Chain A
């Protein structure tokens, strides 16, 4: 299989940047998972879809939009009523779900090429993301594993908290470079490291 070309790779400047007097406030990295898949349930079939997600990924999701889980290189979260994102290192998650998910339950849409995952981590991650999104990123309000859909002006974004100070942001591939630029600027103040 041919490797995917990252939209960010040509503009990634690895290393430390910005105001570093107090150390590195955030680390920025492209996650480059093998698969990014959207699953959508028909009304009333949400629980069946959550069961299928657990069957395929081992991740037990709470019911309802916003709930999620992550671990072992896999992540899943509900980003809208009846709609879920599943992310993993395996390149054929969409194919596996297509085989497992009954058409009576919902649909599978492969977005592995269409979305770019960016990880923002570090002590100032909440601060940097709060500059861009009108979201309460505090841990009690947005616990580890949970996810949501939001927007930064024209850029639609889905965000999952993958750690106490770690967030994975998924944006449309075509906007990835513009968003990266915005994210870098927002991170300069606290010092950032690109990995």
Chain B
């Protein structure tokens, strides 16, 4: 048997063993154990080293409020630091290491910091490293020198450097009643709400539901509290309208009763089942919320109060009763309230000896005296612990008479030998979630704690969270809260009675024992009572400033055990009452949340892939794909041994000489339908569409309301009231939103419907001198000759039995046709075109060749329509109708918009025969050392197979007037400085002869 494990009792399964390792040493625990309980059972008291002074630290609490015993969990190469040992369930193979120590937990070099304790007080870093450089040991330079060493010595656990291989998931849930916390109040609330017909979610951060019922010595409804809880849970589990969520921390309360929770799904298992996430992030939208989150016991502040072996009285009780682990054999209890007497009796009944109960109060209630007598414990009333002794484990305490009213110590100091000191400094209701929801805490003088304000329409409190500290009150409060959450349903059963000693746990207003020595307020951040007073001496008044100066209440525990004592000491220093000093408002998260759970299923896959109908054909035929927004598009179809440059040059050249085909399914396509569709297009586009005949297409340009160019594309008139608008791939969504906005907000009177049909159509653009012959070879049901299908004409036909719509238009500058078919027929039609084109030398081409040919032709894309250019900048002023107003027409003629000095579209030819690059600047005077005086930049560049030169498009200041001028490329990023000639952007076939055939 383990040295501290009781022979019987508790909720661990002693018949089964679990083997785990802590700091490379193997230990054995049992199902039901946390790491903390399993190690305590083995006699381990040293769990870690403190943040700043590297003092030995043990376990203080038994739950989520643990500030000290933080460990790092290793899973393969992944490491997760700062996990409270109290929240970590053991499982076979669990591997854990301690933190913030070197070379070992037992012997830590950093402990030398304790010698410089005075120097390392509050504000040490500000005073030492901030401010001007006055000497060799002052200022930020010194900080930069020291930072590496300080960061190694101070801090919590070390984050891992490898990617987290775990899987995370998100879940959305809806309920009428969310009950947070499953103690007696939470269970009653859930039971009552469920009986009232509400959909109930009951969330509990511990693995075992039941809360204090799991370690209470009381009875409920005539049976042990734990049995009553088990019975209620069985009842709830069988109800279809109840969802029980163990291991689930509700960590944030947001608007509209939306709450965030983290479920630890497989952290307690060696391996999860297939598909099981490690953790699951819950977004819970609740009609009403019952906060049954209990209360945290507070420690007392006195010298040596951080020594391993000291713990909260309720934690000691819980280890003994729930886990069957005695935190000590000779235990002293130090308290300012009656609650600790119950803990003393529980520890005694579990087998420990209660050496003494030291109580700061001189007047002890009869109920507490009775408990002490049953625990066979001597009461030292009106006394206080003034020191502890021992190294890595407490071995004794020193006690001195204490006047709680004046806070003065007097008389002889008495030494008592103990191996555990259980401390209780009162209780703080866990009101964090209500605080997130906007509730302002209310100070209660009797309980010396901040309490919940009155309930709202959205939430209510129950149990200790709501100040109902006795089990009887908690059960009644839970039942009422559950009834409220179910919309006022009346109670189904009478509220069960609680049996046991009823205690008034209101504490004496004592937070600190003013003896000499290092007395810790915030154990996680090593903030002492003297640090708080130092902050006051240095002029800090606000509790918010106190927090930032001393770091009190920061880090992973967010001051769950330290906020109130720290506030009390500050109030005392200021000579004010605690509520006058105020408290910080709690913010989410209540407990640490893994970033992985927030990314959830998007981990590793930030955005979904969007695939064209012919995607698989492209892959099967050697395409190298790249992403264009969400779309995946062919870049090149390289032949064996070809480079990217060789491939796209071949594809572009073959298209110009014979024929090429490219997948244009990604172009945005919007059905614009309705009796006012033509009128709407006239308003949206700069040019006229109401005059467009059925069966014809027109190139259109649209502006933003501020007059800048927004997008371009062709729109096809399929019927009188039915248009098919195409947009650039990149702007499809933006244009759709723009149109919907105009119809919903600006012109709701227009009868027009717009629908995204991008995915309805597969598009193949086939161009080149042989393109028409290829179509003629495979299209049935229509002719494709010049009379039937003139430039911008549209015909309907079939290819290999599939219906197609063909429009004659060109992006490449060659005679070209866009063949649209139903997306489900896309590959079928594409393959038929490839087959028909084979005798004519047809090649598929990718975006590189497409870009090359459009640069040669001088067509603009998103690189030029970049949100800063006007129609005139792009030489599209011929499209600006003077016969009608349109979106942007009121603004496009502003002085700055028509200035001749604006950046205007030009062509660029490299005179040094070196490749050009998009983004490179163009300068009139070359200065390699200090590049400056940019007159513009390159928007797109390529090697032109037609001209056998490196060419590009550029936006250049007053570009129209610079044709024929020399300038220079200044591209320091890529090290290219060279001469260029500015020319017209129409490099290729400016008259359009090839286009018109």
Do A113 and B825 touch across chains, with their CB atoms under 8 A apart? yes
Total A residues in contact with B, Cβ cutoff 8 Å: 51
Do A178 and B671 touch across chains, with their CB atoms under 8 A apart? no
Which residues does chain A contribute within 8 Å of B274, judged by CB atoms?
A: 18-19, 188-189
Do A111 and B760 touch across chains, with their CB atoms under 8 A apart? yes
Q: How far apart are A43's CB and chain B's nearest CB, in angstroms?
A: 8
Pick from A109, A154, A177: contact of B757, CB under 8 Å: A109
Pick from B170, B174, B759: contact of A114, CB under 8 Å: B759
A14 within 8 A of B: no
Bitwise, A108-133 to B at CB < 8 A (1) or not (0) is 01111111000000000000001111
Do A154 and B630 touch across chains, with their CB atoms under 8 A apart? yes
Which residues does chain B contribute within 8 Å of A182, judged by CB atoms?
A: 601, 605, 608
Task: Give Cα distance in the complex from A111 to B753, angstroms.
Answer: 14
| 14 extra A-B contacts, CB within 8 A, seeds A138-B199, A174-B610 | A3-B824, A19-B274, A103-B674, A109-B671, A113-B761, A113-B823, A114-B756, A131-B169, A131-B170, A134-B172, A153-B602, A154-B607, A173-B759, A188-B275
A/B interface sample: 6 pairs, CB < 8 A: A130-B173, A131-B171, A133-B172, A134-B172, A141-B174, A182-B605
Do A174 and B611 touch across chains, with their CB atoms under 8 A apart? yes
B913 within 8 A of A: no
Task: Give Cα distance in the complex from A136 to B602, angstroms.
Answer: 21
In the A-B complex, list the 5 residue pairs whose CB atoms are closest, starting with the nearest. Answer: A188-B275, A4-B824, A114-B760, A178-B608, A189-B275
Chain B residues numbered 657-683 whose CB sits less than 8 Å from any CB in chain A = 665, 671, 673-675
Which residues does chain A contribute within 8 Å of B753, judged by CB atoms?
A: 40, 106-107, 109
Q: How far apart are B281's CB and chain A's nearest CB, in angstroms?
A: 10
Majority secondary structure, B binding face: mixed
Do A103 and B675 touch across chains, with their CB atoms under 8 A apart? yes
Do A186 and B169 touch across chains, with their CB atoms under 8 A apart? yes
Which residues does chain B contribute within 8 Å of A18, judged by CB atoms?
A: 274-275
Q: How far apart are B803's CB and chain A's nearest CB, in angstroms?
A: 9
A31 within 8 A of B: no
A21-B674 CB under 8 A given contacts A131-B171, A138-B174, A177-B609: no
Total B residues in contact with A, Cβ cutoff 8 Å: 53
Task: Give Cα distance in the complex from A131 to B755, angstroms.
Answer: 28
Bitwise, A1-41 to B at CB < 8 A (1) or not (0) is 11111110010000000110100000000000000001010
Task: Give Cα distance in the complex from A112 to B821, angstroms.
Answer: 12
A155 within 8 A of B: yes
Bitwise, A153-173 to B at CB < 8 A (1) or not (0) is 111000000000000000011
Which residues does chain A contribute within 8 Å of B861, judged by CB atoms?
A: none
Which residues does chain B contribute within 8 Å of A141, judged by CB atoms?
A: 174
Task: Give Cα distance in the complex from A7 to B172, angstroms.
Answer: 28
Q: How far apart are B786's CB and chain A's nearest CB, in angstroms?
A: 29
Which residues does chain A contribute within 8 Å of B824, judged by CB atoms?
A: 3-6, 112-113, 173
Number of A-B residue pairs with CB-CB distance less than 8 Å in the complex they form: 137
Do B172 and A107 touch across chains, with their CB atoms under 8 A apart? no
Chain B residues numbered 462-514 whose CB sits less than 8 Å from any CB in chain A = none
Which residues does chain B contribute within 8 Å of A188, judged by CB atoms?
A: 274-275
Do A189 and B800 touch across chains, with their CB atoms under 8 A apart? no
Q: How far apart are B848's CB and chain A's nearest CB, in angstroms?
A: 22
B801 within 8 A of A: yes
A185 within 8 A of B: yes
Which residues does chain A contribute within 8 Å of B456, judged by CB atoms?
A: none
Which residues does chain A contribute within 8 Å of B721, judged by CB atoms?
A: 103
Task: Give Cα distance in the complex from A114 to B757, angstroms.
Answer: 7
Which residues does chain B contribute within 8 Å of A178, judged by CB atoms?
A: 608-611
Chain B residues numbered 608-623 whose CB sits less than 8 Å from any CB in chain A = 608-613, 616
Which residues does chain B contribute within 8 Å of A10, judged by CB atoms?
A: 616
Task: Give Cα distance in the complex from A110 to B828, angstroms.
Answer: 20
Task: Give Cα distance in the complex from A130 to B169, angstroms.
Answer: 11
Pick from B174, B631, B756, B800: contact of A2, CB under 8 Å: B800
Chain B residues numbered 572-610 whose CB sits less than 8 Å from any CB in chain A = 601-602, 605, 607-610
B751 within 8 A of A: yes
B802 within 8 A of A: yes
A187 within 8 A of B: yes
Q: Which residue of chain A has its CB nearest to the CB of B608? A: A178
Q: Which residue of chain A has its CB nearest to the CB of B167? A: A185
Q: Which residue of chain B has its CB nearest to the CB of A156? A: B756
Task: Give Cα distance in the complex from A156 to B163, angstroms.
Answer: 30
